[in-house]
């Protein structure tokens, strides 16, 4: 009995304990539900629901004519709520084969069976976020919405999409370093993309997501989402057509001369708007890419292009004039222990203007040394008055720092003055040099170069960038006039004669400089050639600089390697810009100056009348050409038959190609402008399909 009583006592104790524990659990459950319920619901909600940013559309970048240079393209991640209760089992089973076939046929990345297996497995595993396709474009998304099951509806069909924007550049790498890029956390953000990131990035929206069992986040369809605000658009000063010409012309010269790198900049004189900026560097495999923005970032010794700075200082201080005499006999001179040499030894007594035309190192250094040897700081102070010792303050990052030594600088020596006068022991970027020349073209007004015209939001301007004046008058009119006379003389009969042409006038300066190799000093293998100037010289509208560094074959003088790039850019502008092109023609209204040399007769008659030129066309037939004989200058008929080749010299490319192709010939053209030469002589017998090549140019 005692043992039985003892066992029952233990059982009762166990049951009693379990009963008390059960009551405690029940009490806790009731407490949680009734007292702490709202708190735990909120925590659960917080753990399973989360707001994510909706990326706004980044603003576009346009050129000055409205051509798109950069834009954001939406890419979609496509998923499926395969376990959606809104998709009935019968609907899924009856349509899964059709959906698999549609996906396989459209994307060509999986077989029909692989897609079906993916969909069925997702259904069985109750996958609420089944991945279908990454980086689908908008057209693909539109097609997907019409596929079986998906087309039931946005929610009912189980289709889930999230969007990310990809930055694309329709013109590939044209102006790439200037357009730039912006990536979060990237310290190398450059160009317009970086400088105007705050305007272009817009404001992110908010979208509610729910965590699902596999750890992914599934977007919720909630009405309290916040829509993103898209970024503003940027209207640049760049003209993509001129940019294309500048890069192509620069690339050809770099390849021909196997140069290390180079740049070209075209700027509008009055406004400082940069129309083209090309930067190309040689890669390890020998090709050329936009590796660095040399135009704004590479601050080096300019060489002979600095001679204009030096002489303008002397003109402004009244220490020299164009007709002053300097002796350069022998082509060498001595400053302390250093010998100054001209590239072409010889010479004699010449004027200041002639020394500049021939780019005589000896002549220019003697002029400046004679003027400032007693007070070299006065020369430095005058250079500073030109505002060339400070950065331009560009809107994009990376501008190189100019260096104009002063007499108190530790690097100053007894030979610094003459060497500075010819562009050594100073440092400037190509854009800083161009800005100075642009000021000379602009009658002494130095304007700040800029790359952006407007910021637009929803098509409406919200910020406009007007021309900023850095220095309203870098020098007197008399000094500027002398500088412009010298620059025109360089092209007329000096080192820049390769740019002389009868159609438009160019003013500028060639430059050739040895490039210092850090502590290794100068050598005879590292050079850079440049040409900087403006056109038309008598009424400047554009200024331009071309710099080519370290050519390894061919020449290295600026007039040889850089001037052709300048010429090609200028020719293109004259062929396409009517405001500049009108300067070609003489306004004396005579037939002799009529720029319309040949073409469709009705067009010649109409355009001659519209431009105000005499045009003695008469009944010459469908096609006419200018001829000169004993009776003067008149228009004669272009011989046109199916047996012999007509002359198309003087015609525009459109007319020439039309006429020759109508006769059954295969035509290829090179260059821009009017036809200068044709590969088959006029009067040659026509054989259908025969090739004929036309060479175009602006020089008749």
- Reference 487, options 475, 476, 500, 477; nearest CA is 500
Is there a single domain that holds both residue 147 and residue 217? yes
Query: Interior CA angle at 623 toward 622 and 624, to 5°?
Result: 125
Identify the pLDDT of residue 106: 92
Identify the pLDDT of residue 589: 40
Alpha carbon 545 to chain centroid, angstroms = 15
With H, G, I as helix, E, B as strand and everything else as coil, classify residue 417: helix
Q: Which two tokens stand for residue 44?
A: 């659960």
**Residue 8 in domain:** yes
Is there a single domain that holds both residue 228 and residue 246? no
Identify the pLDDT of residue 587: 35
**Residue 40 in domain:** no
Is there a single domain that holds both residue 182 and residue 228? yes
Identify the pLDDT of residue 61: 94
Q: Position of tokens 């006379």?
A: 485
CA-CA-CA-CA torsion for 353, 358, 361, 366, nearest 10 degrees?
-30
Mean pLDDT by 10 residues, the chain (700 residues): 68 75 76 68 59 76 92 87 87 91 92 93 88 89 90 80 83 86 67 91 72 59 70 94 94 92 96 96 92 93 96 97 92 91 80 94 96 96 96 94 93 93 96 98 97 92 94 97 95 90 90 66 69 94 95 73 92 78 43 57 63 56 61 58 74 81 81 76 73 70
Identify the pLDDT of residue 171: 87
Contact 540, 480 (CB under 8 A): no
Query: Distance between CA atoms of 197 and 188, rounded to whole angstroms?
Result: 14
Q: Which two tokens stand for residue 635?
A: 């228009």
Is there a single domain that holds both residue 372 and residue 494? yes
Is there a single domain that holds both residue 409 and residue 339? yes
Give the number of other Cβ atoms within 10 Å of residue 13's Cβ.
10
Is there a single domain that holds both residue 526 and residue 575? yes
Is there a single domain that holds both residue 252 and residue 192? no
Give how far Cα 405 sits from Cα of 203, 428, 429, 613, Å: 47, 12, 15, 56
Q: Which two tokens stand for residue 156?
A: 């009912």
Is there a single domain that holds both residue 575 and residue 595? no
Number of domains in the chain: 4
Query: Distance between CA atoms of 314 and 234, rounded to whole angstroms?
Result: 43
Query: Distance between CA atoms of 48 and 68, rounded to whole angstroms?
Result: 43
Single out the residue in 215, 235, 255 at which a domain terminates. 235
What is the DSSP code (8-state) at residue 645? P
Report the CATH number that the domain containing residue 573 is assigned in CATH: 3.40.710.10
Burial, 93: exposed, middle or buried (Cβ in 10 Å; 0-12, 13-18, 19+)?
Answer: exposed
**Residue 45 in domain:** no
- Reference 140, options 108, 171, 111, 170; nearest CA is 108
* Residue 529, beta-bridge partner list: 512, 548
HEC-encoded secondary structure of 563-607: HHHHHHHHHHHHHHCHHHHHHHCCCCCCHHHCCCCEEEHHHHHHH
Is there a single domain that holds both residue 693 and residue 564? no
Query: Distance between CA atoms of 458 and 33, rounded to whole angstroms?
Result: 52
Give the number of other Cβ atoms within 10 Å of residue 639's Cβ.
14
Which own/partner pairs from 684-689 qualify as long-range (CB within 8 Å, at least 24 positions apart)?
684/644, 684/645, 685/643, 685/644, 685/645, 686/642, 686/643, 686/644, 686/645, 688/664, 689/664, 689/665
Is there a single domain that holds both residue 417 and residue 278? yes
Task: Write the CB contacts of 60 (distance below 8 Å, at least 6 apart in sequence).
Answer: 68, 69, 70, 71, 72, 233, 234
Can you give the residue range of the structural domain that contains 318? 241-580
Query: Distance between CA atoms of 274 and 449, rounded to whole angstroms?
Result: 6
Task: Write the CB contacts of 271 (distance below 8 Å, at least 6 apart in sequence).
Answer: 447, 467
- Reference 314, options 276, 349, 352, 262; nearest CA is 352
Q: Which two tokens stand for residue 258?
A: 């196997």
Residue ranges in 185-292 assigned as alpha helix (H) = 191-195, 197-200, 240-257
With H, G, I as helix, E, B as strand and everything else as coil, classify residue 501: coil
Query: Distance between CA atoms of 229 and 288, rounded to whole angstroms?
Result: 39
DSSP-derived secondary structure for 148-195? TTGGG-TTTT-EEEEEEEEEE-TTTTTTHHHH-B--TT-TT-BHHHHH
Identify the pLDDT of residue 21: 76
Task: Write the CB contacts of 546 (distance below 8 Å, at least 6 apart in sequence).
Answer: 250, 262, 263, 264, 530, 531, 532, 562, 563, 565, 566, 569
**Residue 585 in domain:** no
Q: Which two tokens stand for residue 639?
A: 């011989």
Report the CATH number that the domain containing residue 169 is assigned in CATH: 3.90.1310.10
Is there a single domain that holds both residue 28 and residue 68? no
**Residue 375 in domain:** yes
Query: Distance between CA atoms of 699 and 591, rounded to whole angstroms?
Result: 18
Identify the pLDDT of residue 567: 93
Sign, CA dihedral 595-597-599-601, equals positive
Contact 260, 550 (CB under 8 A): yes
Single out the residue in 183, 213, 235 at which a domain terminates. 235
**Residue 227 in domain:** yes
Single out the residue in 187, 214, 235 at which a domain terminates. 235
Query: Distance between CA atoms of 341 and 338, rounded to whole angstroms?
Result: 10
**Residue 586 in domain:** no
Query: Interior CA angle at 365 toward 361 and 367, to 5°?
Result: 125
Query: Distance between CA atoms of 70 and 165, rounded to whole angstroms?
Result: 12
**Residue 44 in domain:** no
Identify the pLDDT of residue 682: 74
Is there a single domain that holds both residue 481 and residue 521? yes
Identify the pLDDT of residue 700: 45
Q: Position of tokens 């309290």?
A: 224
Rounded to a whole number, what is the distance in angstroms from the first to the last CA of the chain? 136
């Amino acid at each position: 009995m005692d043992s039985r009583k003892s066992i029952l006592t233990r059982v009762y104790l166990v049951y009693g304990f379990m009963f008390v524990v059960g009551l405690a659990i029940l009490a806790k459950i009731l407490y949680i539900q009734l007292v702490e319920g709202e708190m735990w619901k909120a925590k659960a909600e917080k753990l399973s629901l989360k707001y994510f940013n909706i990326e706004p559309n980044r603003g576009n970048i346009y050129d000055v004519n409205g051509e798109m240079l950069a834009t954001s393209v939406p890419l979609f991640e496509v998923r499926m709520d395969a376990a959606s209760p809104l998709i009935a089992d019968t609907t899924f089973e009856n349509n899964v084969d059709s959906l698999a076939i549609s996906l396989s046929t459209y994307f060509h990345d999986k077989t029909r069976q692989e897609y079906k297996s993916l969909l069925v497995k997702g259904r069985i595993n109750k996958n609420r976020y089944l991945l279908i396709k990454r980086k689908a474009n908008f057209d693909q998304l539109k097609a997907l919405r019409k596929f079986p099951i998906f087309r039931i509806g946005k929610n009912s069909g189980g289709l889930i999409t999230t969007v990310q924007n990809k930055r694309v550049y329709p013109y590939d790498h044209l102006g790439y370093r200037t357009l730039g890029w912006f990536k979060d956390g990237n310290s190398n953000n450059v160009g317009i993309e970086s400088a105007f990131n705050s305007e272009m990035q817009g404001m992110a929206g908010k979208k509610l997501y729910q965590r699902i069992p596999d750890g992914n986040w599934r977007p919720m369809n909630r009405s309290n989402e916040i829509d993103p605000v898209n970024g503003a658009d940027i209207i640049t000063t760049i003209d993509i057509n001129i940019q294309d010409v500048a890069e192509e012309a620069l690339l050809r010269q770099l390849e021909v001369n196997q140069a290390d790198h180079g740049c070209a900049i075209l700027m509008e004189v009055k406004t400082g708007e940069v129309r083209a900026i090309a930067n190309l560097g040689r890669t390890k495999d020998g090709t050329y890419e936009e590796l660095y923005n040399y135009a704004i970032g590479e601050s080096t010794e300019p060489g002979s292009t600095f001679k204009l700075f030096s002489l303008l200082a002397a003109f402004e201080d009244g220490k020299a004039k164009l007709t002053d005499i300097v002796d350069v006999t022998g082509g060498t001179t001595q400053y302390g222990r250093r010998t100054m040499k001209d590239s072409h030894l010889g010479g004699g007594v010449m004027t200041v203007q002639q020394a500049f035309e021939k780019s005589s190192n000896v002549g220019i250094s003697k002029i400046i040394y004679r003027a400032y040897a007693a007070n070299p700081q006065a020369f430095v102070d005058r250079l500073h008055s030109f505002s060339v010792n400070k950065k331009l303050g560009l809107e994009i990052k990376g501008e190189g720092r100019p260096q104009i030594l002063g007499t108190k600088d530790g690097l100053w020596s007894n030979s610094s003055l003459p060497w500075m006068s010819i562009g050594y022991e100073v440092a400037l970027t190509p854009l800083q040099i161009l800005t100075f020349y642009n000021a000379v073209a602009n009658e002494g007004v130095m304007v700040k170069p800029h790359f952006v015209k407007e910021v637009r939001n929803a098509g409406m301007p919200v910020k406009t960038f007007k021309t900023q004046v850095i220095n309203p008058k870098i020098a007197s009119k008399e000094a500027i006039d002398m500088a412009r006379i010298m620059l025109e003389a360089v092209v007329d009969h000096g080192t820049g004669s390769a740019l002389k042409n009868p159609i438009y006038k160019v003013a500028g300066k060639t430059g050739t400089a040895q490039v210092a190799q850090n502590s290794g000093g100068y050598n005879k293998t590292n050079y850079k050639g440049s040409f900087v100037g403006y056109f038309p010289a008598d009424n400047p509208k554009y200024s331009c600089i071309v710099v080519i560094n370290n050519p390894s074959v061919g020449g290295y003088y600026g007039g040889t390697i850089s001037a052709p790039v300048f010429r090609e850019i200028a020719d293109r502008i004259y062929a396409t810009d009517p405001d500049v092109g009108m300067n070609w023609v003489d306004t004396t209204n005579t037939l002799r100056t009529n720029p319309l040399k040949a073409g469709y007769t009705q067009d010649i008659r109409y355009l001659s009348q519209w431009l105000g030129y005499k045009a003695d066309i008469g009944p010459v037939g469908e096609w006419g050409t200018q001829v000169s004989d004993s009776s003067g200058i008149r228009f004669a008929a272009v011989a046109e038959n199916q047996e012999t080749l007509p002359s198309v010299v003087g015609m525009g490319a459109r007319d020439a190609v039309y006429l020759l192709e109508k006769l059954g010939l295969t035509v290829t053209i090179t260059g821009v402008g009017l036809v200068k030469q044709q590969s088959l002589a006029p009067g040659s017998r026509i054989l259908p399909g025969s090739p004929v090549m036309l060479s175009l140019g602006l020089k008749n």
